[in-house]
Amino acid sequence: MNEARIERAPGFRIDDPFWSHYLRMVREVMIPYQWEALNDRIDGAEPSHAIHNFKIAAGRETGDFHGMVFQDSDIAKWVEAAAYLLESERDPALEQLVDEVVDLIVDAQREDGYLNTYFTLKEPGREWTNLAECHELYCAGHFIEAGVAYHRATGKRKLLDVVSRLADCIGRTFGREPGKLAGYDGHQEIELALVKLYRATGEKRYLALSKYFLDQRGAKPHYFEQEWEKRGKTLHFPQLSMVHEHTYSQSHQPVREQSEAVGHAVRLVYMATAMADVALETGDEGMKAACRRLWESITAKRMYITGGIGSMEQGESFTTDYDLPGDLAYAETCASVGLIFFAKRMLELDGGSHYADVLEKALYNTVIGGISLDGTSFFYVNPLEVYPDVLGKNKNYNHVKAERQGWFTCACCPPNAARLLASLGDYVYRTREDTLFVDLYIGSQAEVELKNGLVKVEAQSTYSAQGQVRLTVAPSPAQAFTLALRMPEWSDGVEIRVNGKILEDPFVNEDGYMRIQRIWSAGDQVELCFGMPIRRMKSHPLVRQTYAKTALQRGPFLYCLEEADNGKRLYQLRLAESASFRLEQAEGLPGDIPALVTEDGYRLRLGEAWTDQLYGSGGQAARDAARLTFVPYYAWANRGIGEMSVWIAEGNL
Amino acid sequence: MNEARIERAPGFRIDDPFWSHYLRMVREVMIPYQWEALNDRIDGAEPSHAIHNFKIAAGRETGDFHGMVFQDSDIAKWVEAAAYLLESERDPALEQLVDEVVDLIVDAQREDGYLNTYFTLKEPGREWTNLAECHELYCAGHFIEAGVAYHRATGKRKLLDVVSRLADCIGRTFGREPGKLAGYDGHQEIELALVKLYRATGEKRYLALSKYFLDQRGAKPHYFEQEWEKRGKTLHFPQLSMVHEHTYSQSHQPVREQSEAVGHAVRLVYMATAMADVALETGDEGMKAACRRLWESITAKRMYITGGIGSMEQGESFTTDYDLPGDLAYAETCASVGLIFFAKRMLELDGGSHYADVLEKALYNTVIGGISLDGTSFFYVNPLEVYPDVLGKNKNYNHVKAERQGWFTCACCPPNAARLLASLGDYVYRTREDTLFVDLYIGSQAEVELKNGLVKVEAQSTYSAQGQVRLTVAPSPAQAFTLALRMPEWSDGVEIRVNGKILEDPFVNEDGYMRIQRIWSAGDQVELCFGMPIRRMKSHPLVRQTYAKTALQRGPFLYCLEEADNGKRLYQLRLAESASFRLEQAEGLPGDIPALVTEDGYRLRLGEAWTDQLYGSGGQAARDAARLTFVPYYAWANRGIGEMSVWIAEGNL
């Protein structure tokens, strides 16, 4: 029997010329599509088995477990995403579906609180014996996130109670005390989830358990080796080295001592997210410092210009400083989702706009670039350069696709992107005492709580396309607070009007925010008009793959060349150092984001005499004028299979 | 008991300012070193076990087989190389060693002629059940080559008899007749060896058997699938897909229908070598045409400028047309050795100088580049661009080493290079009727047989360093013949003197050879002085990785930039389009091959203001003048670990 919804006003509703498209897509396409996928009803796609596994575990159906060892987490992420949708807009049919899933989860949970269909069905009795590889705590973490989200959205406690029992089961099992397992998960996730559960329930034991998992990580002797010995050296993924390669799971060192972003990118950012959460809750300076070092390592040395992270397919991993190949990039969509989680926590911990800049970069480029414009297909891997002719022939590119795929055997990215987009409202504002921070400029209605009371905020925004935002506040009653407006790193200046009156010399604070302090009354308006130059971006001199090449950026969007506009053999194109651009309306892009077009490009052409020989002393290359059209990176691969490149070499005309 | 040597005059002796170094190294360093390695006496190197396996198989020692399934072939290659050394210069101690190995082989051979220590010791009863993976015929082929070579060198028949019995055992086992296995080897080699055996013995059944193996390849239903089903679907290399990926072993199509160089590069060129041999012996036009298509596919579309082949590590394979990444290159030393075999056969079949050009390119660059200047360490993989900082961190480069290694678990390359170098004399001249073709200009004394009798030829050569050669002929008696002199593709002109008198307007025939027809007497001299410009090479416009970049070549040598001369971060360097070069004596290079030095280079420098950020709109790059020093590619990585790059981007000064 389903419990009653506790009616509450929607906290946040997005109405934005760019983002509404994505929210609509999540609601109307992705969540229904993913529901069908979880129920194995998508023709031609690998069946998920996720719901079926639960039905077997709940005793409602018979059969065997199928799917990855972490298949359960797809359901958890779907519930979480659905919860965020329900939070901003009622949808009784969707809520009914979620309630049914919650009942299924209730039935699949064991008496002692344990919840994992893989072990319940396939390896009963071997629970908690292979943390390195088997994702039990990872899946638990996702259920906890779902339970917290659904409670926040509807006030319904059933799933929150389920995941609290699950967390208590975990708490009884893990710890340094005698009789407990002094382990931690191979794939971090439980740590950040437990902080959410702590915040939702106020139960400090969940925060302590999160802190335990973080602090225990990397202890010697190594837990993954110990449990491996103990279980007879069996492996779940024999082709991988999750047990012995400790950098892969960031368990090579205690987390407080880590300074470099190594190993599996998603794991790293999920871990760092929890570290920042715990640092915020506890004020732990050592943990804070480690968060800052990891942030620096990622964003100053190991991140693609699109906000993608993880330079190599092997281990879905970071490699080393300044090693950022565009064609071999892994840059998993999930890793950029995780980077956004981490950025959000760093904003809360440290409050500098550079965190929001990275958050915005990952969101506007890699995350939505992972989704087709119609919401039905997805990239797992987000390269910065693709030559389709070589795919399937040179196996170094086996992970790279030139077109988005319907669903994946390891289907982590689509539901992860969905839950992020559905909760986008969480990333727009922050409050601290009497200051309202505006981190993202997304058209929306919101209600935020400041020191002196509730404030309604409406944002009307053409920020994505034109850099303009109008904020209307409605405190009730009138109250003094500070509006802290993020100055995006890509902007060369801003004009601000308060109730129509220009603000002279807006001052950007050291933290990257411009502050307006006053007593605000209902209807007060702030208008922002950000300068939105076309920026010719360069990479750090130590990034050899893109050295002295240019990538174009306008506003939060990185751009790329596509074969559809520029013909084949993009590597032959050059951009004049003096090129000027015009904005050209591109058809069919959300929010009417323009294309960038220049006549100041050229195509190098080797001597006329070049015939069939592979090498020759053919003399200098000639230059044929070429119009170059750059489209936003997020929109690539929506016009059939073709070449793509973010970076272009420069030259003199 | 060892049989007596039949004394014969050495057919060929090298005395060359460039090549003598390598021959000496093979004789004094590589062959002794490899002997120690085969006997597991190299400290710090993986033991080979090869001799020990034979001693066990011969009943002289006890123990288990160790090593790769094709470990035997290392001994065969060593014997073959030693035989070539003995052919050009007596060495009783070495001959004694070889005789002992021959006796060991005799004792290890089974009654029925079968010879393979892996199956004899480790899987008796399973002979010929896994041709796809287990290299039995491959090892047999190498023994046959060794037997033929040792017979040619010494006149001793013992090993030739052993391998004839082995070939007869194979002939009784394989064929299309009922009761025989209609199979062929996963790794081609037996085919070319059987042609050698046919030529050495005159027995046509060996040619027929070779032709059978070629023609049976690619027949449907697929033999590898059939034998796999039959043996219960076991795999020797479960991580590879030798059974099911038929392009890997070029068994996806009948060989006469093949047009593209696909799959494992060494296998392809070994197969093509045999195809050309069989086409030459039989006049088979279909086979000839297939050889030409494969040659074209390799050399016009899939070969590095260094003569390396195989663009990817996965499968040690070709990828697709014009896909030639320099940093990820596999370009196995053995594959270039095999390309030389193929080129030599194509020269004999078709006679165009372009075959010799490729032969020379592979020999002077990749093959000797695979060997350290002191002959003690070896590259298996020969990249065209190396950044050591990323090796071991980005796993895409796991196959790439920045320094040569002592010996390998899969030790095919060092003995393969040794046997090629030891038989270098075979590649210098060709005869056809009354024409003596000079394919390579290597200082040497030789005796060749022409239609009208024997001719002694002495070549004095500074061809490698200066492009000059003096040929002195001594026919006995004086006789008419044609001297056909190859015009190297890299030369822009030649001055020829016959007995001191300049030859006006030397005419290069359509086949790339200049012919001098006359009655020659003892002491007649021809002097050649080839123009040796520094060539700025470009790659075909479809090679995206090196598009519009430049590689320097002088004579047969490709050049590269090394960190030792040019500092770190070679990717920041540019070469002016108008650069002029000087030759600078490089210390310690064989034959005094000069370095190429220019002051017309520069190092791009991003704006002064570049600090720690990963990306920025830093404006134009500045240009700092930089002296660039290019050293011959074959000599790279002899001065410690450092960056290397063959290709450099161009720019205006």
Count CB atoms within 10 A of the CB of residue B204.
10
Q: What is the pLDDT of residues B126-153, one digit of tens each?
A: 999 999 999 999 999 999 999 999 999 9
Q: Do the chains contact at A301 and B614, CB–CB below 8 Å? A: yes
Look at residue B621 in the predicted model and tell me its pLDDT: 77
* Cβ partners under 8 Å of residue A585, min gap 6: A592, A594, A595
* Calpha distance B424→B461 (Å, rounded): 15
- Select the residue of B319, B541, B614 nearest A390 (Cβ to Cβ): B319
Look at residue B500 in the predicted model and tell me its pLDDT: 96
Look at residue A300 in the predicted model and tell me its pLDDT: 97
Q: Do the chains contact at A615 and B540, CB–CB below 8 Å? A: yes
Look at residue B408 in the predicted model and tell me its pLDDT: 62
- Select the residue of B320, B617, B650 nearest A394 (Cβ to Cβ): B320
> What percentage of residues in chain B have a pLDDT greater than 90?
88
Q: Do the chains contact at B537 and A617, CB–CB below 8 Å? A: yes
Asked if residue B488 has a cis previous peptide bond (ω within 30° of 0), the answer is: no
H helical segments located in A109-222: 117-121, 131-134, 136-154, 158-173, 190-201, 204-216
Catalytic residue among B412, B413, B529, B560: B412
Stronger pLDDT, A512 or B239, i.e. the higher one: A512
Kindly identify which residue of chain A lies nearest to residue B540, measuring between CA atoms: A614
Look at residue B8 in the predicted model and tell me its pLDDT: 64
**Mutation for B interface: A490, A544, A575, A605, most B CBs within 10 A:** A544
Please give the backbone phi and psi of residue A549, each rounded to the nearest 5 degrees, phi first. Answer: -85, 165
A518 vs A521, A529, A530, CA distance in Å? 9, 20, 22
Q: How far is A548 from chain B (nearest CA, A)?
A: 7
Kindly identify which residue of chain B lies nearest to residue A312, measuring between CA atoms: B394
Statement: residue B261 has pLDDT above 60: yes
Q: What is the DSSP letter of B586?
A: P
**Mutation for A interface: B303, B339, B532, B544, most A CBs within 10 A:** B544
Q: How far is A80 from chain B (nearest CA, A)?
A: 34
H or E segment to which residue A270 belongs: helix A265-282
Statement: residue A555 has pLDDT above 80: yes
Q: Which residues pair with B449 in a beta bridge?
A: B454
The ipTM assigned to this model is 0.94
Q: Do the chains contact at B320 and A536, CB–CB below 8 Å? A: no
Q: Chain B contacts of A389, Cβ < 8 Å?
A: 320
Stronger pLDDT, A618 or B500, i.e. the higher one: B500
Look at residue A605 in the predicted model and tell me its pLDDT: 84
**Residue A206 pLDDT grade (very low, low, confident, very high; cuts 50, 70, 90):** very high
* Calpha distance B381→A403 (Å, rounded): 33
Give the mean model confidence (pLDDT) for residues B422-427.
Answer: 96
**Residue B317 pLDDT grade (very low, low, confident, very high; cuts 50, 70, 90):** very high
Kindly identify which residue of chain A lies nearest to residue B545, measuring between CA atoms: A571
Q: Do the chains contact at B323 and A548, CB–CB below 8 Å? A: no
Look at residue A476 in the predicted model and tell me its pLDDT: 83
Q: Are B434 and B450 in contact (CB under 8 A)?
A: yes
Q: What is the pLDDT of residues A577-592, one digit of tens each?
A: 889 999 998 888 999 9
The segment with the largest mean pLDDT, out of A28-42, B397-411, B606-620, is A28-42
Q: Are B187 and B175 in contact (CB under 8 A)?
A: no
Look at residue B488 in the predicted model and tell me its pLDDT: 98
Q: How far is A188 from chain B (nearest CA, A)?
A: 22
Kindly identify which residue of chain A lies nearest to residue B492, measuring between CA atoms: A617
Q: How far is A553 from chain B (nearest CA, A)?
A: 9
**Mutation for B interface: A542, A615, A620, A652, most B CBs within 10 A:** A615
Q: How far is B307 from chain A (nearest CA, A)?
A: 11
**Mutation for A interface: B578, B617, B645, most A CBs within 10 A:** B617
Give me chain B's average pLDDT, please.
94
Q: Do the chains contact at A541 and B605, CB–CB below 8 Å? A: yes
* Calpha distance A576→A623 (Å, rounded): 11
Q: How far is A170 from chain B (nearest CA, A)?
A: 35
Q: Chain B contacts of A569, Cβ < 8 Å?
A: 541-542, 544
Kindly identify which residue of chain A lies nearest to residue B536, measuring between CA atoms: A617
**Residue A607 pLDDT grade (very low, low, confident, very high; cuts 50, 70, 90):** low
Look at residue A145 in the predicted model and tell me its pLDDT: 98
Q: Do the chains contact at B312 and A395, CB–CB below 8 Å? A: yes
Q: Are B65 and B118 in contact (CB under 8 A)?
A: yes
Active site residue B412: yes
> What percentage of residues in chain A have a pLDDT greater than 70?
97
Statement: residue A225 has pLDDT above 90: yes
Statement: residue B9 has pLDDT above 80: no
B48 alpha-carbon distance from chain centroid? 22
Give the mean model confidence (pLDDT) for residues A336-363.
Answer: 98
* Calpha distance B380→B390 (Å, rounded): 19
- Select the residue of B239, B301, B650 nearest A614 (Cβ to Cβ): B301
Q: Are A255 and A217 in contact (CB under 8 A)?
A: yes
Look at residue B10 in the predicted model and tell me its pLDDT: 63
- Select the residue of A314, A394, A652 nearest B311 (Cβ to Cβ): A394
Statement: residue A610 has pLDDT above 70: yes
Give the mean model confidence (pLDDT) for residues A507-528.
Answer: 96
* Cβ partners under 8 Å of residue A499, min gap 6: A524, A525
Q: Chain A contacts of B648, Cβ < 8 Å?
A: none
Q: Chain B contacts of A305, Cβ < 8 Å?
A: 614-615
Statement: residue A1 has pLDDT above 80: no
The pTM of the full predicted model, rounded to 2 decimals, is: 0.95
* Calpha distance B275→B362 (Å, rounded): 20
Q: How far is B542 from chain A (nearest CA, A)?
A: 8
H or E segment to which residue B94 belongs: helix B92-108
Give the mean model confidence (pLDDT) for residues A197-204.
Answer: 98
Q: What is the pLDDT of residues A621-650, one digit of tens each?
A: 788 999 999 999 999 999 999 999 999 998
Kindly identify which residue of chain A lies nearest to residue B238, measuring between CA atoms: A239
Q: Do the chains contact at B571 and A606, CB–CB below 8 Å? A: no
Look at residue B142 in the predicted model and tell me its pLDDT: 98
Alpha-carbon Rg for chain B in angstroms: 25
A26 alpha-carbon distance from chain centroid? 15
Give me chain A's average pLDDT, please.
94
Look at residue A26 in the predicted model and tell me its pLDDT: 96
Kindly identify which residue of chain A lies nearest to residue B324, measuring between CA atoms: A394
Q: What is the pLDDT of residues B150-183, one digit of tens each?
A: 999 999 999 999 999 999 999 999 999 999 999 9
Exposure string for B101-128, b = 16+ CB within 10 A, e = fewer: bbebbeebbbeebbbbbbbbbebeeebb
Q: What is the pLDDT of residues B35-59, one digit of tens each?
A: 998 999 988 778 889 999 999 999 9
Q: Are B601 and B629 in contact (CB under 8 A)?
A: no
Look at residue B459 in the predicted model and tell me its pLDDT: 98
* Calpha distance B49→B71 (Å, rounded): 8
Number of continuous H segments (helices) and E segments (strands) in chain B = 20, 22
Look at residue B407 in the predicted model and tell me its pLDDT: 66
Known catalytic residues of A are 316, 412
Q: Do the chains contact at A320 and B389, CB–CB below 8 Å? A: yes
